Homo-oligomer: A and B are copies of this chain.
C-alpha cells in the first residue's frame, strides 16, 4: 500500500527546513525510527554528507535516525532494507543521473509501491511522476533517461510559479513551458505551488496544504484544483 508525500518545496519563505510539514511528517513516519536519505540532488552543490546532516537535524526532532544512501556500500540493499525513504531537492538532472548510475531507480519504485513510506521535496517530488520532463532545473549533467519513478500516473511541476503581473522579462512563463511539453507528451502536469503537497495513500491521491494547485492537460485549458481534492482519477 503506497504511502507517499510529494511536496512542492522543503522550505517556505521565512520558515525552517521542513517546518511547515512537521505535523504531516510525524503522522507519515509514525511507525519509523530510521530513514534513508537520498542526497543526490545536492542543492547549490552541497556535499552528500552536509545535506544528510541537514535532513538528520530535522528528523532528530521526530526521533527518527537518518542515514544517507551514499554511506552504504550497496545502495540497492540500503533501499530494500530502509524503513522509510526521503529524497531531498536540488538538481533533478543530477538526482536522476545518480539514481540510474547507482541502479536504485527501480529499487526505490519497487519498495515504495510495496509500502515503504516515502517523502519527496522539489526534485525528490519531480521523480515521483512519469518523467522528469517538467522540472524547472538546469540540465547540468546528461542523465541516461528522463523516465522517473512513475509512482503517480502524471507529472509534477514543483515550485509552480504564476506569471508575474507586469513583468518585462521575455523568457517563457511556466505556463508556456508546460504548454510546450504538451506538444510532445500526453500526461497531465500538476503545478504544485510552494506550500502544497500530494498525499498518496494506496491509490488515493489528495491535494494538501492551504493553496490551490494548477492542473495542465493536453488540449485543455489549465484549471485550478482546490486543496483536499481527490486526484485519483487523474491520468
Contacts and interface: CB of A to CB of B under 8 A. Distances in A.
Interface of A: 9, 11-14, 42-45, 90-91, 93-94, 132-142, 145-146, 159, 161, 168-172, 176-185, 194
Nearest to A41: B180
Which of A133, A135, A145, A161 counts the most B-chain CB atoms under 10 A from its CB? Answer: A133
Contacts of A140: 133-134, 177, 180-181, 183-185
* Chain copies in complex: 2
Contact of A139 (B11, B135, B161, B168): B135
A194 B176 contact: no
B171 A161 contact: yes
Contacts of A145: 142
Given A42-B183, A180-B44, A139 B139 contact: yes
A136 B133 contact: no
A181 B185 CA distance: 27
A44 B168 contact: no
Given A139-B146, A169-B161, A91 B180 contact: yes
A45 B183 contact: yes
A138 B141 contact: no
A177 B138 contact: yes
A170 B159 CA distance: 7
A217 to B, nearest CB: 15
Nearest to A138: B177
Nearest to A177: B138
Given A134-B138, A136-B138, A139-B132, A170 B183 contact: no
Contacts of A194: 169-171
Contacts of A133: 138-142
A235 B14 CA distance: 39
B172 A43 contact: yes
A181 B137 CA distance: 10
Given A159-B170, A161-B171, A171-B159, A138 B9 contact: no
B146 A142 contact: yes
